[in-house]
Amino acid sequence: MKPHIKTIIICPQCGKPFHFESTRKATYVNCPACSKTIPVRAKEKHVKVVCCPRCKVYQPTRATVRFKCRMCGYSDRMDALKIYYKTLKSRDATLIAQKLNEARKGK
């Protein structure tokens, strides 16, 4: 079971804030003050470093469902790939991917 995503939402119509909890990635909520329907999307903010099984190049990605290699065009499900590193900062993921690629070339 996925953990609840706790969010404070400000209604665009009446401007009043309210709390919202969800386990889904996209849903709709109704404002308790004015009953306006508001779309709510939770984004996965992690940047992952994965290795392409075909060309063996490490690269950062924000993909959640499908991965497509930038070098050879290989495409696969994200759950089928091994994640070597996971961070909130894309700069860190890029540096880790560069270091892994340099280590791979050095062998």
Instruction: Place 95 in a pLDDT band, splitting at 50, 70 and 90.
Output: very high
What is the per-residue pLDDT across 63-77, written as a single tens digit (0 to 9) for each? 888 999 999 999 999
Answer whether residue 1 shows pLDDT above 50: no
27 and 37 Cβ atoms separated by less than 8 Å: no
Report the pLDDT averaged over residues 91-106: 92
Answer whether residue 96 shows pLDDT above 60: yes
Q: Where does residue 82 rank: exposed (0-12), middle (13-18), buried (19+ CB within 10 A)?
A: exposed
Report the pLDDT averaged over residues 72-86: 93
What is the per-residue pLDDT across 7-52, written as a single tens digit (0 to 9) for each? 777 888 888 888 777 666 657 888 888 888 888 766 657 899 999 9
